[in-house]
Amino acid sequence: MRFEEVELDQQLPTIEVEVTQEMITRFACASLDFNPIHIDPVWAKRVNLLGYGKTIAHGQWTIDKLTQVITNWCYPHGRLKSIDIKLIKPIFVGDRIKFKGKVVAKHPRKDRSFCDVELWAENQNREKVAVGIAEVFI
């Protein structure tokens, strides 16, 4: 893809995931984050941390998926310049999450042009669970 081909308000391809406990546990192994709030449903119910009584997905997993929206779109010629994500709500087992992005600004430069991409993740109730902005070299 070339910078000239990018359009304002262009939607990036959505990633849709149904969250499973196995997925969360595998991410715990990859990230070495074995906090029981993520991997132990019995503990999560008993302790009722955060008032939900269930395990939650890692925040870093959410950030990784939003980053994947960018890389799926801009690879192989683009690259991430910066990303800033805010986690709003927890993600639970059984949630169906859509990770989305949209081009909101273009910055032509002589040497390396880049775009601003708005990012967000929403659950099956269309509630935003994370929002962010990324700068992407094209």
| Cα gap 73→106, rounded to integer Å | 15
- Classify domain 3-18+58-137 at the CATH topology level: Thiol Ester Dehydrase; Chain A (3.10.129)
Task: Bin 53: left if φ > 0, else alpha if -120 < ψ < 50, else beta.
Answer: left
Please tell me the total number of residues recorded for the chain in this structure. Answer: 138
Query: Per-residue pLDDT tens for 47-91?
Result: 998 899 999 999 999 999 999 999 999 988 899 999 999 999 999
Query: Which pLDDT band holds residue 18 (cuts at 50, 70, 90)?
Result: very high
Domain boundaries, the chain: 3-18+58-137
Reference 114, options 77, 68, 65; nearest CA is 77
Distances (CA, A) of 136 to 5, 6, 13, 73, 116: 14, 11, 15, 10, 6
